[in-house]
Structure 1
Amino acid sequence: MSIASPCINICRMSATTGLCEGCLRSLDEIARWSRHDDAEKRRILELVAQRRAALGVAAAPTLASTEGA
């Protein structure tokens, strides 16, 4: 099973953080996503979760959380 990209189609790089304002990944993490194995993708997703917590940014809604809304 492949791990889905955390991209939410808000693709702007922040000059302040150097991270995408939508998914909070670095340009390198975004560019290499499709070449990473699932273990590395999980590691990046953990970094994204840590960045969200540190920046006080709520997680983006997922398709599963918006179904039925």
Structure 2
Amino acid sequence: MSKETPCLAVCMIDPKTKLCFGCGRTLSEIARWHAMESVERLAVMALLPARMADAGLAPPAGSPRRA
């Protein structure tokens, strides 16, 4: 089973939004990421771009996604 991840290795939580500056996940999502089923991970990943845009966060330019 693959472990899809939006992690960019920029693991810092924004104190205002409570989202990771790198990927946009919450601490709860990060903590249980590898326990999630693939379908749930993919559903969260689909929400991340809009979530980060709404929060005024953007992933660092040129940061590769790890698989």
Inter-partner Cα distance in structure 1 for 2:6 and 2:24: 9
Query: Shift of the alpha carbon at 1:57?
Result: 2.4
* Runs of at least 5 residues in structure 2 that lack an aligned partner in the other structure: none
* Runs of at least 5 residues in structure 1 that lack an aligned partner in the other structure: 64-69
Equivalence for 1:40: 40
| TM-score of the aligned structures, taking structure 2 as reference length | 0.75
Query: Shift of the alpha carbon at 1:5?
Result: 1.1
Q: Give the share of equivalent positions with the same residue, in percent.
A: 35
Aligned residues: 63
Equivalence for 1:4: 4
SS in 2 for 1:50: helix
- In the TM superposition, what are the counterparts of 1:54-65 in structure 2 within 5 Å? 54=54, 55=56, 57=58, 61-62=63-64
- Structure number with greater Rg is 1
Aligned CA-pair RMSD: 2.1
Larger relative contact order, structure 1 or 2 (CA cutoff 8 Å, min sep 6): 2
Give the number of the structure whose residues are more often helix, by fraction.
1
